[in-house]
Structure 1
Amino acid sequence: MTETTGRLRELNLYRRYFDLVAAGEKTIEVRVKYPHLEDLATGDIIRFRIKGTDESRDVLVKRVTGYRTFEELLDGEGPANVNPSSTREQQLAHVREIYPAEKEALGTLTIEIELLPQ
């Protein structure tokens, strides 16, 4: 079992991504570099929630890496690690629906995660 000593963060996820995380299939979460994520670090715990529900899953942060753009992020991490059920092009389209160009301009983050037991 993995020991954890980090801080607890709560972040929302869309259902399609939550299900992949809960199944242990999604090991990389993608975000933009919002100020509230600047101090996210290895060892922290993220409680992913589906907004408007009581469903949640806890994950351990194994690594946080910054990239300038989503394209660089997908090339650096590999699309299959970010979302094993979508192609690179589909992932770019989906992530840019969530985060328009002005948000991407803040920079992007990958958060490598490990599903924790319930």
Structure 2
Amino acid sequence: MSNTTPHVRELNLYRQYFDLVAAGTKTIEVRVKYPHLAGLAAGDVIRFRIKGTDETCEVEVRRVTEYPDFGTLLDGEGPSNVNPTATRDEQLASIRAIYPPDKEALGTLAIEIRLLD
């Protein structure tokens, strides 16, 4: 038995994605490879929060995989794991509306998550 405490990170999510995570149907979170996410690893905990509210849910990171861009990420992970309510093309447009090309150029991360009780 390990006495190590998992690293907890707080990240904001838009309501539509938060609801999918909280329901356990979104199993891949998509992020740009920002420096503050360096070192994110399996076993870490992410506390998602809807910005400006006290609503949170916690997930365990199961895996972090880097991709060169969002299209490659969606193809590698399967769009239904990222957002089961939207097509691949709808998701790509939505993600790129959040992250412009200069951000996407930093690299992208697929974070496999599991909802914690």
| TM norm structure 2 | 0.96
Is 1:89–2:89 an aligned residue pair? Answer: yes
Q: Deviations over 1:8-63 (max 9, x none)?
A: 00000000000000000000000000000011000000000000000000000000
Structure 2 match to 1:45 = 45
Structure 1 segments unaligned to the other structure (5+ residues):
none
- Measured after TM superposition, the shift of residue 6 of structure 1 is 1.7
Matches within 5 A, 1:71-90: 71-90=71-90
* Whole-angstrom CA distance in 2 between matches of 1:34 and 1:10: 14
> Is residue 5–residue 43 contact of structure 1 (8 Å, CA) maintained in 2?
no
* Whole-angstrom CA distance in 2 between matches of 1:15 and 1:103: 22
> Is residue 32–residue 108 contact of structure 1 (8 Å, CA) maintained in 2?
yes
Q: Aligned with 1:11: secondary structure?
A: strand
Is 1:56–2:56 an aligned residue pair? Answer: yes
| TM norm structure 1 | 0.95
Matches within 5 A, 1:1-118: 5-117=5-117
Q: Identity percentage over the alignment?
A: 72
* Whole-angstrom CA distance in 2 between matches of 1:109 and 1:93: 17
* Whole-angstrom CA distance in 1 between matches of 2:73 and 2:98: 15
Number of corresponding residues: 114
Q: Aligned with 1:54: secondary structure?
A: coil
